[in-house]
């Protein structure tokens, strides 16, 4: 009499291999979905920060140039006494604004350049994402009209 094993049904090893393959497949799919959603969230926050920066630049451009006279890269408060460094953005929780004003004389470092004629204004909007500080920066050039 031959000792023959039945070829019917599944063995424990077949089931274990199947479970491992399914687990790996499901894990990969879950990781892809997480990364996609994470990227979409980061893109939304970054676009919100860009929108805020554009609005801040437009506010600055609408002001009279005389508001910026005497201001340079060391200036930390505007003429009304408002801080220009790391201020919360009104109506946008979690976003912080830093405005830097650099006179063209400081950029060019040319003795013949006249001070307070051209200013470079940079708006930096900072935010936290996944425990890291991220930021968006936009710049514009303002010039004194004759």
pLDDT single digits (tens) 94-133: 999 999 998 887 766 666 767 788 888 999 999 999 899 9
Alpha-carbon distance values, 7 to 19, 26, 57 (Å)? 21, 30, 76
**Residue written as token pair 């830097």:** 100
Angstrom distance (rounded) from CA 136 to CA 123: 8
Contact 45, 53 (CB under 8 A): no
Contact 89, 59 (CB under 8 A): no
Angstrom distance (rounded) from CA 57 to CA 50: 10
Burial class (CB in 10 A: 0-12, 13-18, 19+), 135: middle
The total number of residues written for the chain in this structure = 146
pLDDT single digits (tens) 11-28: 888 889 999 999 999 999
pTM here is 0.73
């Amino acid at each position: 009499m031959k000792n023959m094993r039945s070829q019917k049904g599944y063995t424990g090893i077949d089931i274990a291999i199947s479970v491992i393959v399914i687990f790996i497949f499901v894990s990969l799919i879950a990781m892809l979905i997480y990364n996609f959603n994470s990227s979409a969230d980061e893109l939304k926050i970054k676009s919100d920060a860009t929108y805020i920066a554009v609005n801040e630049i437009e506010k600055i451009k609408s002001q009279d140039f005389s508001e910026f006279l005497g201001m340079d890269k060391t200036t930390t408060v505007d003429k009304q006494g408002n801080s220009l460094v790391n201020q919360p953005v009104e109506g946008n929780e979690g976003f912080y604004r830093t405005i830097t004003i650099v006179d063209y004389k400081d950029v060019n470092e040319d003795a013949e350049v006249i001070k307070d004629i051209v200013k470079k204004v940079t708006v930096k909007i900072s935010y936290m994402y996944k425990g890291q500080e991220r930021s968006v920066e936009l710049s514009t050039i303002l010039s004194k009209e004759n």
